[in-house]
Structure 1
């Protein structure tokens, strides 16, 4: 098996992994987005001479997060637009034809995360017959902050999405050398990565770059331009600079990271900031009317991508993770629960409906259930509904695996499904997510989800029926026989969804 591959920019050398897989890590797909290129569209990577050793992950985007098992960002890191490839390809011409390709976009509230997290190692999926690509893109202000025009230069919004398109273009132009089929690409992501996938499904700039999509726990809606401008003024004030292109460009990436963190904390400490006081996220895709014309849910409902197969999943207890890590302000009584609902524009009947479904649930449990469904569960389901109604082949699943009993317990919470989908349950860094070392039942569940992803990426067939008029309830539920932990509102799936029938997602306003 070869470990040297040719790209349009030059040759790269990877490293051997387990059981015939080669990992080629930290391949640059665009120029470093700093200096004169800061806040601009990504530029193609210049060619290099000789063979470039690609055996370590590349630097990550500016951020303050320090995630288990992943590298931290350092202010000197600039070559951040890189990707990683896992393949079982042999010498050209020695195989049985090109392999299907899966491209992964990480989540992290558009503010943190990277392709180097241990959860996203592509070895198991490569052994399942895929060429796997994971990528870094600009997050935080560098990727999604609004930069006002100055009359000379235009700094596009949604730069993080433009980075993702550039990575997909790299896949189109180079993946054949790694044994992959550029005509059979599946784009996958979770949380912010899942909504990135939905955005790219609806963006003209990504047209033709992938034929299938996997969206786990898509979060919505996207921002209105006025909200992005509002957050820029807030971040600039925290940084002590003017909210102009010149002022923002003069501030270091580290200064904008620190100012962004300060802005989030200020929103969290001030109840009068409405929904931003509960668990503020200040960066995300912007419905700018040009690059991204509207919220992807509306665009997909209007038939933006009927030719793309879609697999949607969400967990049944999404927001319990945010409670565990302390990011969500707690509603401790009925008055605070009512304020929570009002701050998000939810009808009074919604929380009452959740209480009727699970009468024994506490105020906190109702808040977490509503918050998780508002942010992830209902939005994800509406993406599936909208795509199916416009003729797109759509598959729907839910991740319900919990762990109770006498050991460390976990819910079916946000992010817990991803180590199962990548087959990376043994990584020490994921044990918090899955509640300790995996059991034999966990490994069997992971094998089934890996096979579903591989089947969907290869043939558009994950192993169950698509959602359509004949099979409106064709939903695969992923779980094990572990004891239940916490209230499971999703046992009342159809009734639960009916509670949301009067709610409409709109791009977030200031």
Structure 2
């Protein structure tokens, strides 16, 4: 056991079972519990403690209804949810590069305790790795109408939690062998879009110098849509859509009400864009904390001082279809309604048909939706960053395999166990199609090394983006074509001018 001293008190961690020489500490508070008088408020500093805090266990997860393989579930009454975890091979004074991970989960589920986010292998490459929990769902991103005589509740409380975690890293990471001036912030899916938001936020400026965004999701809310969501959730919760009404509802009540609102969209084919995958929460763009959505902000030059690495998978939406979280579109008339709901021109659908003439309607829908929501949006972020003088690397995950009698696609989330080097954990085998083979281990080694090198030097091993067509690093079990160009799927989006923002 090793003891480290933070500004709040001493913490003790033990040896990682996954990497020799790496010490892991879990459940360190980086901010006060965001409940009671602090509910719906910006995060406040954690209280100091006496003695040495044993940091062997992950802290409680944020309020949510999800139960994820190998990770703890939320229990009503858990309040100390703003905690972080550290894997370090270093000692005070080492000044190692730091990688801070923001988990995804549509802004409503997930935690830093998921097995695929174990930082031991990356730490074994010479990084100090930090993961953390932040507020989700209504607690983190729900709009709370202002009340006379009280301070307004910020909309983006989850993003402010992320900033608080980065501030904790700045103030304390040197004690663990990390360099506060060598921080890379990384995330996937909603975590990747969180990274992009942080790059656009004045409150996060100077807290990191590099960023990694895997499968950024095109899903920010406007103040108007956030207000409408609050009205819907409050109605389902049986309370008024006011501060007093909302604070009177327990976190459990708001989680359940939010689930019912999302399920209502899922069951109603006539409910517009939210019907297909009803993620009702997201960063609210247009307020004091986040004046612009990330794509617009990047186009205006925000975050150009931050070096950026972007990745997406080739078949993003196949995962959402596999787990049954998105609507099924199998008929041409359904496809036409889908295109109208997202204002997708017929020319885009025709171009996808030409790219794969044998594709079924369902296959076509999944390809278009995945690129609209993740693939093309990620590319647009990278290009906007580059055009304004940012240094950007692009990569694309295409690895497939047969698993349990059917193909496992290059779908959403499949790349993350490879980047973390956690492919041997049985909890991630659904994502990657079963136990890894030798080629999978080699791919994981290449991806973890790329992340480590990017965090340390800014060079993951391939050239930066210089034009809209590449270069791009291709992640596959084959090493024959490691650098190429973007696939033809990008052409129809460029011709149409989409996607700019989700409706």
Q: Same fold (TM over 0.5)?
A: yes
1:277 corresponds to 2:275? yes
- C-alpha contact 1:227 1:508 (8 A) present in aligned 2: no
SS of the aligned residue for 2:65 comes to coil
1:486 aligned partner = none
SS of the aligned residue for 2:232 comes to helix
2:491 aligned partner = 498
Q: Which runs of 5+ in 1 are unaligned?
A: 483-490
Deviation at residue 348 of structure 1 after TM alignment: 1.2
2:310 is matched with which residue: 305, 312, 326? 312
Q: Distance in 1 between matches of 2:381 and 2:420?
A: 23
Deviation at residue 507 of structure 1 after TM alignment: 5.0
- C-alpha contact 2:472 2:486 (8 A) present in aligned 1: no
- C-alpha contact 1:103 1:134 (8 A) present in aligned 2: yes
1:189 corresponds to 2:214? no
1:325 is matched with which residue: 323, 326, 346? 323
Count residues in correspondence. 495
1:488 aligned partner = none
Deviation at residue 408 of structure 1 after TM alignment: 4.5
Q: Distance in 1 between matches of 2:141 and 2:185?
A: 20
SS of the aligned residue for 2:489 comes to helix
1:350 aligned partner = 348
Q: Distance in 2 between matches of 1:150 and 1:68?
A: 41
Q: Distance in 2 between matches of 1:260 and 1:221?
A: 17
2:298 aligned partner = 300
- C-alpha contact 2:469 2:485 (8 A) present in aligned 1: no
1:475 corresponds to 2:472? yes
Deviation at residue 230 of structure 1 after TM alignment: 0.6
Deviation at residue 55 of structure 1 after TM alignment: 0.6
1:388 corresponds to 2:395? no
- C-alpha contact 1:224 1:507 (8 A) present in aligned 2: no
Deviation at residue 246 of structure 1 after TM alignment: 0.5
What do the CA deviations read for 1:363-412 (whole angstroms, capped 9, x no partner)?
Answer: 00000000100000000000100011111110000000011377453100
- C-alpha contact 1:401 1:411 (8 A) present in aligned 2: yes
Deviation at residue 199 of structure 1 after TM alignment: 0.2
What do the CA deviations read for 1:36-80 (whole angstroms, capped 9, x no partner)?
Answer: 000000000111000000110000000000000000000010000
1:366 aligned partner = 364
Q: Distance in 2 between matches of 1:332 and 1:217?
A: 25
What do the CA deviations read for 1:462-497 (whole angstroms, capped 9, x no partner)?
Answer: 00000014x942100001259xxxxxxxx9945321
2:418 aligned partner = 420
2:3 aligned partner = 4
Give the TM-score normalised by the residue count of structure 2.
Answer: 0.96
Q: Distance in 1 between matches of 2:146 and 2:368?
A: 39
- C-alpha contact 1:224 1:508 (8 A) present in aligned 2: no
Q: Distance in 1 between matches of 2:404 and 2:224?
A: 49
2:53 aligned partner = 52
2:89 aligned partner = 88
- C-alpha contact 2:335 2:365 (8 A) present in aligned 1: yes
SS of the aligned residue for 1:134 comes to strand
Q: Distance in 1 between matches of 2:441 and 2:407?
A: 17
Deviation at residue 197 of structure 1 after TM alignment: 0.1
Give the TM-score normalised by the residue count of structure 1.
Answer: 0.95
Over the aligned positions, Cα root-mean-square deviation in angstroms equals: 1.5
